[in-house]
Amino acid sequence: MAIHPIDYRYGSEEMKRIWDEENKLQKLLDVEAALARAHAQLGNIPEESAKIISERANTNWVKVERVNEIEEEIHHDIMAVVKALSEVCGEHGKYIHLGATSNDIIDTANALLIKESLEIVLKDLKELRTILKSLAKEHKYTVCIGRTHGQHAVPTTYGMKFAIWLDETQRHIERIEEAKKRILVGQMSGAVGTMASFGEMGLKIQELVMEDLGLKSALISNQIIQRDVYAELMSILAIIASTLDKIALEIRNLQRTEILEISEPFGKKQVGSSTMPHKRNPIRSEKISGLARVIYSNVIPALLNNSLWHERDLTNSSVERVILPETFVLLDEMLKNMKKVLLGLEFFPENIKKNLYLTKNLIMAEPLMLKLTEKGMGRQEAHELVRRLAMKAFKENRDLLEVLSESKEAREYLTDDDLASLKPENYIGMAPRIVDNVIAYVEEKEKTEES
């Protein structure tokens, strides 16, 4: 019976298959098989035994149900795997798990699971990057009102919004690629990390196992890979979630009835409310923001897991059974929903323009102040004059430029042509070039990835 929503509601089948019980068992078996091959290569066990162990270290031979039966009896998860594998390997089973401790198997298997999961996250991030790049190009000159403190500030462009998210997405791709060398590490170091159980061949055995599995060897560990590694991983995943939360929050705000500049897609048969048939709720964006909160909360236990008793205790284990699959599956859900939202994003140009002029040119106070300064008025004097005129325009519900045209102080410096040039569409500064710079940077990174 499914209980947690990730079982039936969230995440792709591709991501969930990585963390399901059978694939997790397979990764444990992969590590045990790699250890047997390393021992055989060094002459510690017969090559035939390593061959049999490798052939049968898979879930066609070792069943989840049997492992669970054994664990129910002995109350030890890894020994249950070892016993189940030994059962199907006959006399060769005596060489399984030789010299290893449980977390040699668990932590190395986790690295394999994390590796597979990060590949899906990277694939989604790169697809998200492509979508954002296209939107940034398309809307490079779509002028809109910028908002600070929730108030109208000065004009910006939708190209700037998308380019900011694009740049941030590119950093996430780089973060993951850069962190892989620290995160994708395994160990084969025995109890408390001294490799005493492997004798003089300890370092070589670890090297062979990790080369076999495509992982990097931990430089040093005690009985576990140090959990700052997992804390870094969880922090990176949470930072990615925060970007998706940021994008979703902006879309939700811009979809407000009073603003309605953009909207997430709404299907022909989609129902917005059980009682209000007119509703077009931003449910995908809201889900993204909601799931981000769960991922944020998972960072705290990951940090706490780095502080264990002496060479280790077991307080991290139960936590990681929850936070690793949960975080990857929920982030997967968020990424795939964000791609759908952005691909179907609906624009309302008439509302974008209406909001740009909503304050009757009060948003032109800054360029007006700068124009007065350019014409010879002192900067502080110009600021105070425009402030007074803006407050007057606001109080009287009039256009700022109309109020300005009546000001003798201002008209000593400004001509009719100066006033005519003060349009929101003319005050976007270097926005198009900034967007181009971001796109050029990202495209250069894409070329590097391909080469």
Mean pLDDT for the stretch of residues 142-148: 97
Predicted confidence (pLDDT) per residue in 89-120, tens digit: 999 999 999 999 999 999 999 999 999 999 99
Q: Is 221 a catalytic residue?
A: no
pLDDT surpasses 90 at 259: yes
Q: Name the maximum alpha-carbon separation found in the chain.
A: 103
d(CA 396, CA 285): 39
Q: Is 149 a catalytic residue?
A: yes
pLDDT surpasses 80 at 372: yes
**The pLDDT of residue 70:** 97
Q: CA end-to-end span of the chain, whole Å?
A: 47
Q: Tell me which long-range contacts 403-409 makes (C-beta under 8 A, separation of at least 24).
A: 404/368, 409/385
d(CA 4, CA 336): 19
Sign of CA dihedral 226, 227, 230, 236: negative
pLDDT surpasses 80 at 448: yes
**The pLDDT of residue 67:** 97
pLDDT surpasses 80 at 82: yes
Predicted confidence (pLDDT) per residue in 321-353, tens digit: 999 999 999 999 999 999 999 999 999 999 999
Catalytic residue among 149, 274, 278, 310: 149
Q: Tell me which long-range contacts 43-52 makes (C-beta under 8 A, separation of at least 24).
A: 44/98, 44/201, 45/95, 45/98, 46/92, 46/95, 48/92, 49/89, 49/92, 49/95, 50/95, 52/89, 52/90, 52/92
pLDDT surpasses 90 at 276: no
pLDDT surpasses 80 at 33: yes
Query: What domains appear along the chain, each with residue ranges and CATH number?
Result: 18-98 (1.10.275.10), 100-266+279-356+432-451 (1.20.200.10), 362-421 (1.10.40.30)
pLDDT confidence bin for 7, thresholds 50/70/90: confident
- Residue 346's beta-bridge partner residues? 263
Catalytic residue among 273, 307, 318, 421: 273
CA 337, 338, 341: angle at the middle one, nearest 5?
90
Which of 178, 170, 68, 189 shows the shortest CA–CA distance to 128?
A: 170
d(CA 21, CA 63): 10
Predicted confidence (pLDDT) per residue in 58-70, tens digit: 999 999 999 999 9
